């Protein structure tokens, strides 16, 4: 893809990506969706909490 470069290690394994600002601006919605997916994937093994407990926790934190 034009405007996207990869940083590789000595064995040519992709380690990072560099995206030109212009490319990000042109594809802003897709970039945000991609970041959302990355965040969701990184949290898939996090401890789960039911909605009622989450509301109680948020209420307690807002009073602190």
- The DSSP result for the chain, as a single string, is -TTEEEEE-TT--EEEEEE-HHHHHHTHHHHHHHHHHHHHHHTTTSPP--HHHHHHHHHHHHH-
pTM to 2 decimals?
Answer: 0.56
pLDDT number for residue 51: 96
pLDDT number for residue 1: 74
- Tens of pLDDT along 3-27? 999 999 999 999 999 999 999 999 9
pLDDT number for residue 29: 95
CB neighbour class for 8 (10 Å; exposed up to 12, middle 13-18, buried from 19): exposed
- Tens of pLDDT along 36-45? 999 999 999 9
């Amino acid at each position: 893809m034009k405007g996207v470069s990869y940083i590789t290690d000595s064995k040519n394994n992709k380690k990072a990506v560099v995206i030109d600002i212009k490319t990000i601006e042109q594809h802003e919605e897709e970039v945000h969706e991609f970041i959302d997916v990355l965040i969701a994937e990184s949290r898939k093994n996090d401890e789960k909490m039911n909605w009622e407990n989450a509301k109680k926790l948020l209420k307690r934190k807002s009073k602190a």
